[in-house]
């Protein structure tokens, strides 16, 4: 009888190790200078994550001149995301829900490894902060980022 328990415990241990090893890895790292995103950097809107996050970052390419642009978004000099943003119908956003502490933080946007926009935001515990980052570029001009910061959901028009 005791022998059977030992075999069962060994089988459970092996299955547990196998299941833990097969677990899908998050796209956001914790300790390597990258900020964790609750949405796993998928960029999709989530009403559930909206209620959990203290900061919601929305990123859009509004430039018909640059129909796709690669931007890196940093918070306090730690990478949140590096992605390519398509203009498509011009009013589409990718959403990020970074895990962040209360307090003052600096959000910066890089294009070609150069900062093209930077803004300081204050994160309060009692209400989420929404930040919309809109990339713009016209012919013969440098790209720029416009920030819109609110303590309420930002509407897309």
- CA–CA gap between residue 51 and residue 123 (Å, rounded): 15
Best CA proximity match to 133, nearest among 56, 67, 64: 56
pLDDT for 44-78, tens place per residue?
888 888 888 999 999 999 988 888 999 999 999 99
Looking at residue 89, its pLDDT comes to 76
Residue 110 — pLDDT band, cuts 50, 70, 90? very high
| Rounded (to 5) percent helix, strand, coil in the chain | 15, 40, 40
Host H or E run for residue 5: helix 2-22
Q: Which fold has domain 26-150?
A: Immunoglobulin-like (2.60.40)
């Amino acid at each position: 009888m005791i022998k059977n328990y030992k075999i069962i415990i060994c089988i459970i241990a092996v299955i547990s190790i196998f299941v833990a090893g097969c677990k899908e890895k998050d796209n956001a790292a914790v300790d390597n200078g990258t900020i964790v995103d609750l949405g796993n950097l998928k960029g999709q809107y989530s009403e559930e994550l909206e209620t959990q996050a203290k900061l919601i970052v929305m990123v859009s390419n509004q430039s018909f001149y640059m129909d796709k642009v690669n931007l890196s978004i940093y918070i306090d000099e730690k990478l949140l995301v590096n992605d390519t943003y398509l203009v498509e119908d011009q009013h589409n956003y990718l959403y990020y829900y970074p895990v962040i502490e209360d307090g003052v933080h600096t959000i910066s946007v890089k294009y070609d490894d150069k900062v093209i926009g930077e803004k300081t935001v204050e994160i309060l515990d009692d209400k989420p902060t929404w930040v919309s980052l809109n990339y713009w570029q016209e012919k013969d001009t440098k790209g720029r980022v416009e920030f819109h910061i609110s303590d309420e959901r930002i509407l897309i028009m």
